[in-house]
Amino acid sequence: MQKLLLLPLFCLSLYGEQYNIDTLIEKAITSSPDLNISHSTYQISVEQSSQADAEYLPTVDLYGGAGYVSINSDATDAKGSLITGKVTASQLIYDFGKTGGNMDVYAEEANASYAIYQQKISDKVYEVKRDYYDLSRKSLLIKVYEENVKLNEQQYTRAKRYFEAGIKTKIDVIDAKVRLIEANIELENAKYDLKLSYVTLSKTIGNLDDSLDDNVYVPDINTSDGSHDRLPVETMNGRELVQYAFTHRHELKSYKHKIKSAQSKVRQESGDYYPGIYLGGDYQYNSVDSELQLYVPEQQWNANINVKWNLFGGFRTEAKTEEAKLNLLQQNASYENAKLQIVEETSNAFIKLLKTDSNVALSEELVAAAKEKFGQAQQRYEHGLSDYIELQEARQGYVNATADLVVNFYEYYISLASLDRAIGR
C-alpha cells in the first residue's frame, strides 16, 4: 500500500487520448468563459486607445449637395441649379497636454487591462493544477481504500476460520464483518468524491463539449520509499520569493499602469486651463447654371489657425483636476496595499509549502512504523498474544498513515502551485 504515491510533476505526460495537466491547462486557457471575458475586456480597451489616438490625427470631411438657387435683387433676378462639393480639414496643433494626456490615459488602461488578463491566466493555471491534483489525490485514495477492503476481507476470512476451529470467539467474526462493511462504505464514498472532483475540474476548465470522466491521466508511480526525496525543492528563501513577486506578479504590473493612467488624467484635466490651437481649412467647388456664375464662385478655399480657449466653465476644470489628483492618490495607495497583500500571500504560501514538506517526511516515517506495527500485531494475534482490538487498531493505523501520506504528498504540489501563483511564476 505504501507504494501508491503521487508522481513528481515532471512525470506528467499524455497517454492515449487522456488529458494530462499540460493539456488541461491549455484547454482551460482557450475555452474558459471567464478568461474569454477578460480577453474581450482587454481588446475593448485596445480599441478605446485607438479611438483616443485618433484625436491627434487630422479630420477630413467631404460634403456634397445639389439644389436650386434663386437670387433676387434690384440689379438681377437669377435662377438656376447648383451642385456643390466641399472638403474641410482640421488638425490639432497643440493643446497643452489635454489630448496627449487623454491618449496616455487609454494607452495605460489598455496595458493595465492586459496585465489583468495575464493575472487571470495565472489564476486559472493555479486553479487547474489545484483541481487536477485534488482529483489525482482522490483517485489514488481509492486504491488505498481498495487495499483496505482486501485486508479486511482477509481478516474476515481468517476470523471465520479461527472461530470454526474453536481458536477465536464469535465476537471476532462479527467485528471483522463490521470493519469490512465500514471499509466498503469508505471506498464507495471515495468513488463519489472522485466523481465530484471531475465535475469541479470540468467547471474550472470551462469544458462543455468533452466529458472528462475517466478521461484524465492520473499517473500511478510505484515507489517503495524515498517519496519525500522526489519532491521538487524550492530554491529561493522567503525574502527572495517576495522580491520575485514584486517583479513578476501581473497584478502589481496592472496597478503600475493604472498609476500612470491617473497621472495622465491629471495632465489631461489641467490642460483645460489653457487654449487649444488648431489648423483648419476647406476647399469648395460649385457647378452652377450660366445665370448664377456671376454670383456664385466656381472654386474657393481658405486656410486658418484657430484658437479655442474656455475662459470660464463654472469651476468645472478645477473640480475635475482635483478629482484626477485624488484618483492618483487612491491608485498609489491601492498599489501599496496590493504589495502588502502579495507579501502576505507569498509568505503564507511559502510557510504552507514548508509545512507540507515536513508532513510528507513525517508521514513517510509513520507509514513505515505503522506497517511494522501492523505486521507485529498480526503475529501476536495469530499466536494468541493479543486481542482482536489491538490488531484492528494496528491495521487501521496503517491504512490511515498511508492515506495521510497520499494526501500530504498531493498537498505539497498544491502548495507549490499556490506559491507559483503568489509570486507570478
pLDDT digits (tens, 9 = 90+) for 118-169: 999 999 999 999 999 999 999 999 999 999 999 989 888 988 888 888 877 8
Residue 208: the pLDDT is: 65
Query: Strands 4-5 and 299-308, how do they pair?
Result: unpaired
C-alpha 126/C-alpha 40 separation (Å) is 21
Domain ranges of the chain: 4-58+92-274+315-423
Residue 164: the pLDDT is: 83
Task: Give how far Cα 232 sits from Cα of 10, 229, 235, 280, 291, Å.
Answer: 9, 8, 9, 67, 94
pLDDT at 311 over 90: no
Residue 17: the pLDDT is: 63
pLDDT digits (tens, 9 = 90+) for 367-412: 889 988 888 888 887 777 777 778 888 888 999 998 999 899 999 9
In CATH, 4-58+92-274+315-423 is 3.40.50.720? no
pLDDT at 9 over 70: no
pLDDT digits (tens, 9 = 90+) for 205-245: 987 676 777 788 887 654 445 677 788 889 999 999 999 99
- For the chain, give percent helix, strand, coil, nearest 5: 65, 15, 20
Q: What is the pTM of this model?
A: 0.82
Radius of gyration of the chain (CA): 38
Residue 8: the pLDDT is: 40
